[in-house]
Amino acid sequence: MVDRVILHSDMNSCFASIELLHHPELRGKPLAVGGDPEARHGIVLAKDQLAKKAGVKTGMALWQARQVCPNIIFVPPHMDLYLRFSRLAHEIYADYTDLQEAFGIDESWLDVTGSCSCKGDGLTIAKEINRRVKEELGITVSIGVSWNKIFAKLGSDYKKPDAITVFDRENYREKIWPLPVQDLLYVGSATQKKLNSYCIRTIGDLAAADPMFLKSHLGKMGLVLSMFANGEDRTPVSAENYHAPIKSIGNSTTTPRDLVNEEDVEIVVYLLAESVSARLRENNFAGTVVEISVRDNELYSFTRQQKLQMPTDITQEIAEAAMQLFRANYRWNKPIRSIGVRASSLVNALTPIQMNLFVDQAYRDKLQRMDHAVDDIRRRFGYNSIQRGLMYYDRILSSVNAKDDHTVHPHGYMESGNRTGVELLSMG
């Protein structure tokens, strides 16, 4: 059987690179994308190469980032901009294959097997994509080339930034097997420690280990990792638009003051719901599940979610679902310090849906028109040019800029499934 030709394209320091593209005056200075360092919240979502060299890490609190890099510059995230660049990159990829599978906003697998006869081999196609992204988008990508998705991703991580690495049947033992086992996809810190305790420290050690031994200590994941290490992953690259590159859009915020009653909560929930719904509309998504997260001032927290009757990008529907979840699950033992709202299980907003006889569709259409009118006014005159009357009950709480604290959650690799490979190993 002829090997597939799989590429994994990874936009280098994606969020930070796009911000620098739009703010060239910040080049040459360490930069991180995150929340508001003057408020009570914020983590590093992305950093440029200078910040990375100074020791700044993704997920680090902003105050910690400033400690390791005192001259760092923070900029707020602009997720709609990053999603636009992601779509533009996928338009370039589409010139080479329709088998492209997003792994978050900035990473994608491409099966270019069918294009090699007319576009050249995998390395040639990777070089052309690398050049086009640089010239047409102004950012760089690192690309891995291999015969399976796992080794292709290892290739894009192998050299950064702006590099291309080929792992083929001839060189993978020499180049991949000496790498630390934690470089393999889905070997996290806990799995790494467990593997290290069995003297499995490199990917080669993992490849040589008895699959049944791995299964006995790691369950089915042990078989999956054995398959990954030996280059036996046969998971297909999903067709273009198989699913959205993200699985949820959400906002959470640590509030300027503690929330002490339901009226306070409603103000913040509507702020967050407005931002979530606006992002859904900007990117043509609708959510089928609404989730809230709540943390009190003694750091007790919980998360709850509920499925909606119909997919929605309507502010009021998202906010009302969030408030229902809050009322059903919080007992006001302590004031609230942080709250979040998220829409998940996203679908394309243009996907036809079955009408519900018990839903007033005319009223929903009216709410949608109102949201679109608000979007248009804010685009023209600024975010604070129009606000709900509810926001005037407390100008401190309503000053939260929820839109800039937007977060997205990418799909995981396992959602595409590795069942076939696992079953084959189990049978062996």
Measured CA to CA in angstroms, residue 81 lies from 175, 368, 397 at distances of 36, 23, 27
Using a 10 angstrom Cβ sphere, with 0-12 exposed, 13-18 middle and 19 or more buried, the burial of residue 199 is exposed
- Cα 341 from chain centroid? 16
3 is in an annotated binding site: no
Measured CA to CA in angstroms, residue 266 lies from 101, 259, 280, 305, 321 at distances of 38, 10, 20, 17, 11
- 19, 91, 101, 107: the active-site residue: 107
- Cα 350 from chain centroid? 22
DSSP 3-state percent helix, strand, coil across the chain (nearest 5): 45, 20, 30
What interhelical angle do 262-282 and 79-93 show, nearest 10? 20
Beta bridge partners of 145: 7, 166
Among 232, 199, 226, 193, CA closest to 211: 226
10 is in an annotated binding site: yes
The answer to whether 325 and 290 are in contact (CB under 8 A) is yes
| DSSP code at position 238 | P
135 is catalytic: no
The answer to whether 306 and 321 are in contact (CB under 8 A) is yes
Instruction: Give the Cα separation of 172 and 192 in Å (integer).
Output: 21
Task: Extract the tokens encoding 126.
Answer: 């990777």
Among 388, 398, 389, CA closest to 255: 398
Beta bridge partners of 85: none
Among 286, 279, 216, 268, CA closest to 388: 268
Helix (H, G, I), strand (E, B) or coil at 258: strand
Task: Extract the tokens encoding 49.
Answer: 């190469």
Instruction: Give the Cα separation of 36 and 108 in Å (integer).
Output: 30
Active site residues: 107
Q: Which parts are annotated binding residues for Mg(2+)?
A: 10, 106
Q: Which parts are annotated binding residues?
A: 10, 106
